[in-house]
Amino acid sequence: MVAPPLSPHHEILFRRHTGNPILTAADWPYAANTVLNPGATKLADGTTVLLCRVEDRRGHSHLSVARSKDGVSDWEIDPEPTFAADIDRHPEEIWGLEDPRITFVEELGQYAVAYTSYSSGGPGVSLALTEDFRSFERLGVVMQPDDKDAALLPYRIGGRWAMIHRPITTRGAHIWISYSPDLRHWGDHRIMLEARAGAWWDARKIGLSPPLIETDRGWLMIYHGVRETCDASIYRLGLALFDRENPEQLIRRGDRWIFGPHEQYELVGDVGNVVFPCGYTIADDGDTLNLYYGAADSTIALATGSVQAMLGWLDRYGQLECVTRRAA
């Protein structure tokens, strides 16, 4: 399948790596159906860690670590699942673990991993802590089903931890923020960004993609918007900017998508027409952003952009928006 040519008049914010997809099930040291939607981080020694979702032929997923010095090649993949369902102690993981998002939390000296625990009641959000991506301490379910697309902010805001997530309510699939004194008890739930309606590219269903990016102008959010057509759902990415001290305060929201499925590996797979990033790393220049994404729910791909370019783009294509805040 080949997509029609793109207009040369759109601004390009992300360039795909020429070696895409950079990781596939064929690279895995054990049998896997697909590898997708990795969380990402860079360790203190510069190693890129991808916490990859690996789906087996039952349809259940677990998480496995791939490490690389340059974040592109020579991946060392754990020979067995790194972080898999523990159904006896955590029945909420009965149908697997999906879509991890990693935040380094300096106060704890640990990485927080927010992931989808696929329970028999639907997908919920679970949280785990790790120092080394070898052993994990589970904090259990922090947002009950139906909820996903979650990531923790790296430090307390006004004394409280903050987490972004995407519950589905009768009003639709919007992005929410919630607060906690201890990472276990969550409340003060507020809508942060709403899906638009009608013909918009991000109508009806949106969700956080990778964790928020801290910039000198605020928290930059890359979010996914889902366009439902009679043929398929198309997963594309957009941008929004939030106040640094008060992250539920929207500053600007882009009116058009910045990245969408176009290459064959994004169009064809278990679920075609999907680009789905759960993680990024930032290069030593403090600006170059390596975005790791699941392509067509089947493989892992990489695209590179610039944080400053995204902020500049938001100045041109972003609109100030008043969001009505509603309590849960």
User: Could you list the residues that contact ligand BMA (CB under 6 A)?
Assistant: 37, 98-99, 235, 271, 274, 276, 294, 297
Count CA within 13 A, CB hemisphere, residue 1.
13
Of residues 183 and 271, the one with the C-beta less far from ligand BMA:
271
Give the integer Cα–Cα distance in Å for 23 and 48.
14
Minimum Å gap between C-beta 320 and ligand BMA is 29
Minimum Å gap between C-beta 36 and ligand BMA is 6
Of residues 114 and 307, the one with the C-beta less far from ligand BMA:
114
Burial class (CB in 10 A: 0-12, 13-18, 19+), 106: exposed
Which residue carries 């009641």 as its tokens?
121
Give the integer Cα–Cα distance in Å for 180 and 188.
8
Residue 94 has which token pair? 């009965």
Task: Return the DSSP state at 314.
Answer: H
Residue 106 has which token pair? 């300096």
Minimum Å gap between C-beta 147 and ligand BMA is 11
Of residues 300 and 314, the one with the C-beta less far from ligand BMA:
300
Give the integer Cα–Cα distance in Å for 162 and 180.
6
Kindly calculate the radius of gyration of the chain based on its CA atoms and give it in whole angstroms. Answer: 18
CB 125 within 8 A of CB 160: no
Minimum Å gap between C-beta 116 and ligand BMA is 7
Of residues 93 and 297, the one with the C-beta less far from ligand BMA:
297
* CA 8 from centre of chain: 28
Of residues 21 and 218, the one with the C-beta less far from ligand BMA:
21
In angstroms, the Cα distances linking 217 to 62, 70, 222, 316 are: 36, 29, 15, 15
Minimum Å gap between C-beta 12 and ligand BMA is 23
Minimum Å gap between C-beta 189 and ligand BMA is 20
216: CB partners within 8 A, 6+ apart: none
Of residues 37 and 41, the one with the C-beta less far from ligand BMA:
37
Minimum Å gap between C-beta 297 and ligand BMA is 5
Of residues 36 and 314, the one with the C-beta less far from ligand BMA:
36
Q: Report which of 106, 102, 86 is spatially closest to residue 94, judged by C-alpha positions.
A: 86
